[in-house]
Amino acid sequence: MKIGVFDSGLGGLIVTKSFLEELGEYDFLYYGDTKNLPYGDKSAKEVLEYCIAATEYLISKDCKMIIFACNTASAVALRYLQRSYMPKHHPDIKVLGVVVPTVEEAIASSSKAIGVIATQSTVASHMYKVEIQKINPDIKVQEVAAPELVPAIEGNDFVKAERLVREYVKKFENIDSLILGCTHYPLLKNFFRKYLPRGVMVISQDEFMGRKMKEYLSNHPEIVAVLGKNNEHKFVVSKLNAHYENVAEKIIPGIKIMDA
């Protein structure tokens, strides 16, 4: 069986690349819901519907384990799927997200004041703040929504993206680390490091999610036992065009991406 990775568009390819670097022998299926991106400005009801549809699609393609690489999906829909939907419909399938591993990484940095930059939906859910303060209520958390970043990235407009980053970072006050709370944002991490005050640590999901996945599998041999290890890596999207092919190629050179 395969490891499924789901994202609202192509940003999840960045995290998937880190999975492949650490666990390339496993079979992976990536599904990007490019037809409905961006999720960040959608209602919670819409995001939940998209997430259920994507989960069902990946299960139909023999995925034993599904990673929500989308922070918005993780923030809005993951808890419902884990606690209600999956136990009822697919109790033998694991669905995991990126928020908790990211919070663990930020906490491990000994930060006392953490910034979170993310989509409107992720910030509105306050999931990062809740998870951080669940572990350490003394940590100060400042959240900033950046609704224009994903459209700029998906539109391949990095001149605009750099300008936006420069403006967004001005909204943070006295933070010592910044969580990039969207899987698209690692493409902009050098801009964040350029414009943030010196000494502010940037927590970028592409830099540790592969390691986190490897650790998770080492602790769950029952999942490893049923996963295929044929080096098969497939990438599909809900809507394919030349633009998306070009964006995907820049993230994973040589990628072959297909319509779902």
Q: Are residues 108 and 188 in the same domain?
A: yes
Q: Are residues 227 and 161 in the same domain?
A: no
Return the CA Rg of the chain. 17
Q: Are residues 62 and 137 in the same domain?
A: no
Q: Are residues 125 and 80 in the same domain?
A: no
Instruction: Note the pLDDT of residue 11.
Output: 86
Lowest-pLDDT choice from 36-40, 205-209, 219-223: 36-40
Instruction: Note the pLDDT of residue 109.
Output: 83
Is the Cβ–Cβ distance between 229 and 253 less than 8 Å?
no
CA gap 114, 174 in Å, rounded: 9
Measured CA distances, 64 to 56, 61, 71 (Å):
11, 9, 21
Q: Are residues 87 and 163 in the same domain?
A: no
Q: Are residues 151 and 227 in the same domain?
A: no
Q: Are residues 124 and 187 in the same domain?
A: yes
Percent of the chain with pLDDT over 70: 100
Q: Are residues 39 and 124 in the same domain?
A: no
Q: Are residues 197 and 252 in the same domain?
A: no
Write the CB contacts of 100 (distance below 8 Å, at least 6 apart in sequence): 131
Instruction: Note the pLDDT of residue 40.
Output: 80
Domain boundary among 165, 180, 205: 205
Instruction: Note the pLDDT of residue 130.
Output: 95
Tell me the residue range of the domain where 25 lies.
2-97+208-259
Catalytic residue among 67, 169, 182, 187: 182
Percent of the chain with pLDDT over 90: 83
162-167 CB contacts, 8 Å cutoff, 24+ apart: 162/188, 162/191, 165/191, 165/192, 165/195, 166/191, 166/195
Q: Are residues 185 and 116 in the same domain?
A: yes
Q: Is 182 a catalytic residue?
A: yes
Q: Are residues 156 and 244 in the same domain?
A: no
Is the Cβ–Cβ distance between 208 and 229 less than 8 Å?
no
pTM of the model: 0.90
Tokens of 106: 């930020």
Catalytic residue among 70, 132, 153, 188: 70
Q: Are residues 122 and 180 in the same domain?
A: yes
79-134 pLDDT, tens per residue? Answer: 999 999 999 999 999 999 999 999 999 999 888 999 999 998 889 999 999 999 99
**Partners of 2 in beta bridges:** 63
Write the CB contacts of 131 (distance below 8 Å, at least 6 apart in sequence): 99, 100, 103
Q: Is 70 a catalytic residue?
A: yes
Domain count, the chain: 2
Domain boundary among 205, 226, 243: 205
CATH of the domain at 179: 3.40.50.1860
